[in-house]
Structure 1
């Protein structure tokens, strides 16, 4: 007797292969809203970055100090020969060019106290600070002999002292450099360098010049800044001591603070640096041009402890895994129990899973990431569990779905929190999930497809 042909609807209900293909198509379809959610997270992160940048510009950007540097002009002589028709001979003229020599301090000691706070606009926050610094050190007699410059060519009466800074806008105190009994006001000078700005004293007096003996200098500086405070170790010996009420510092640059004296507590941090000339890649004096040595800077970056957008973006990267494993759970239940689940119902479950990430990002903007994750996770697990009760007609299956989703979201949360062991934990967890699926799928009769 000839077998009756099955309709397309019957094929969907009875063919495991067709159901698998349809589930796969639905997973690929749900990649579209997931990509929109990722774009939303990035857009909110860019918005936060723009607002923080605007706050920092109004308060004061990062601070990088380069100096003090002793600048002494000198003369270079060159003979210029010209033919004299009347004398019928060459005439030699002394052509003089003025150039500058730059000498770094013999010692440089910086004591900085950083009072930090957070400024907010709407739902965004930025960390800013006011740094009170005492800068002192000494200059010793410069050596012009290394460039064969005669003593009479050194223009001591044109000597000044320079300080470079990236943030003139944030300065909150009158700048006076004390050299012995003389006080010199620092004034800004135009520079083509778009990164730093030059502050320069007026011409130094005779008793402020280190012609033979060492001269000491000191200066107090109060400056507003944001994110970073860094220094360039221009002293033959540079010592920096820093204290702050900010509890989440990130020490960066070419040199790290002394680990024996570094302290980080809930109330702030203390750090000390000591950099010698032999530790650097540049010398103590330069003739002609002041060098670009910003790559040698070191200091501290004040971090906002939690970046909610970064964690939300990391969580969204596991969206494909969550949807695929959840669909796999329903597929196994459907195949083993012979309960029919319509593709539209799979689609509704997938959309509910994608809503987790919109809930996560929106709640985390007003609360901590942990609370946002818990609230979004509970909402989605309850929604899908109640929906599965209506589909599967069983409290047992509903409980299995709820437990699977809760375990999956807990597993992903652990991976997000980890950094060094994220790959190890993730690989181990996926291996356990695969082994569980392989054990459960043994009960499926693939021959009757």
Structure 2
């Protein structure tokens, strides 16, 4: 029994195959704590999203805004056939049903100025904004002829103006719509649709005013977060947006006009122009008002890759870092004939795993670059000192430290890139493979 044990121990010590198997098994074992670190990063990221959503909900969520819509009630006559049991005959009755007609502007211009600012809660940060929005345009001559509505069926006295928005809570001013020479106060109206409705009272003398194109204008000041979008209900809709935010993402159904986008570190500006022919709905609806959010356009104020996203991307290279570092130790062991115990491999691997916990914990209180430098320097010093005790001398510990520092530097460059991350990563991995192949060419693989 003792003899078999000694044979196995000698095989582990002297066989290249055995040592490679041991390192391979240890690498797989070290994936367990690495997966725990990844779960920790995911958990902290979810917590950040929860806090940011809570901050945004109290300040004001995303804003979707339509222009003014003219709402005019009218009636239609509907015949109903009923059966009289006593006379055993059918008779016809006529009922009046109340409907609403919705007319969109002929021209709609939106000018928005967006001022962003950070809001902090504990270690978490959200970016919110306040926007001054100037809306102007004109309504066309109102025409019911397409629906064959009789003039006497139109209830002009109860006509009103409505606005639709996704964020009533964020509005910071009393909205007054200037329609022709009239000023209309807007108030919220209960609505079960996905967009909230703001409606004016009855418009005096509207029948006389709508005999020619009627101009309108109003100003809205609103708090919001994440994005600001507009619904292009004008037959010709134009919009401009300027902001101090440096990382916009132009989203929605329509992109800014060519040449209008200007993005600098101090902010951005953009303009849009949408014609009726560009979207799939008409300028008037009779009986109902559809949800037109899908046609909205605007800007999403995105936060560049945050610390948790960077930490998550860094952790994806954990297997590569641990595997290559253990491979360097293995090759040094094969070349120098210095025996490295499996326990020592485990200690080195755990030190490499600790890099990610240091990174995420420090980055929550500092910049990602500082956290990365501190975590990398700590691990390099620890592994360098430990390998000095294992391998003796300075030659091999210095090689390990330089290799690990190069690897950490390479990974940091990759995670900063977006469009070229895959290309740079592929070239780097090819170079690492070439170095390993070149360095291992003189190892005697016969002792297996």
Superposition TM-score, scaled by structure 2 size: 0.95
Q: Would you say the 8 A contact 1:26–1:347 is kept in 2?
A: yes
The answer (yes or no) to whether the contact 1:113–1:132 under 8 Å persists in 2 is yes
Q: Tell me how far 1:117 sits from its aligned partner.
A: 0.8
Question: After superposition, what is the alpha-carbon deviation per residue over 1:32-85, rounded to whole angstroms, capped at 9, x for unaligned?
Answer: 111110111111111111111111111111111023111112222122234568
Paired position in structure 1 for 2:101: 101
Shift of 1:353: 0.3
What is the aligned partner in structure 2 of residue 314 from structure 1?
313
Alpha-carbon separation, structure 1, partners of 2:123 and 2:381 = 29
> What's the RMSD between the two structures over aligned residues?
2.0
Shift, 1:190, TM fit: 1.1
1:418 offset after TM fit, Å? 1.6
Change (3 A) 1:209 1:273: farther
How far apart in 1 are the matches of 2:9 and 2:261? 71
| Structure-2 separation of matches of 1:252 and 1:124 | 26
Q: In structure 1, the residue corresponding to 2:365 is in which secondary structure?
A: coil
Q: In structure 2, what is the equivalent of residue 240 of structure 1?
A: 239
Q: Which residue of 2 aligns with 1:187?
A: 187
- How many residue pairs get aligned? The number is 446
Conserved 8 A contact 2:41-2:312? yes
Counterpart of 1:114 in 2: which secondary structure?
strand
For residues 288 and 200 of structure 1, the distance between their equivalents in structure 2, rounded to whole angstroms, comes to 17
Q: Structure 2: which 5+ residue stretches go unaligned?
A: none
Alpha carbons 1:251, 1:257 under 8 Å: kept: yes
- Matched residue, 1:336: 335
CA distance in 2, matches of 1:67, 1:290: 14
- Are the structure 2 counterparts of residues 280 and 233 from structure 1 closer, same or farther at C-alpha, using a change threshold of 3 Å? same
Find the counterpart in structure 2 of residue 174 from structure 1: 174
Contact 2:159 2:206 survives alignment (8 Å): no
Task: Tell me which residue corresponds to 2:115.
Answer: 115
Per-residue CA shift, 1:198-233, capped at 9, x if unaligned?
A: 111111111476542111111111111112111011
> Hey, what does 2:20 align to over in structure 1?
20
Contact kept? 2:71, 2:102, Cα under 8 Å: yes
Deviates more, 1:16-25 or 1:437-446: 437-446
The structure-2 alpha-carbon separation of the partners of 1:155 and 1:11, relative to structure 1 and needing over 3 Å to count, comes to: same
Q: Is the 8 A contact 2:311 2:360 kept in 1?
A: yes
Q: Tell me if 1:390 matches 2:356.
A: no
Partner of 1:368: 367
Aligned twin of 1:440: 439
Hey, what does 1:405 align to over in structure 2? 404
User: 1:425 aligned to 2:440?
Assistant: no
Relative distance call for 1:85 and 1:297 in structure 2 (3 A) is closer
> Aligned partners of 1:352, 1:89: CA distance in 2, in Å?
94
Matches within 5 A, 1:79-98: 79-82=79-82, 90-98=90-98
Task: Report the Cα distance in structure 1 between the residues aligned to 2:142 and 2:333, rounded to whole angstroms.
Answer: 87
Of 230-239 and 409-418, deviating more is 409-418
- Give matches, 1:40-189, under 5 Å: 40-82=40-82, 90-189=90-189
Mapped to 2, the partners of 1:337 and 1:205 lie a distance apart of 97
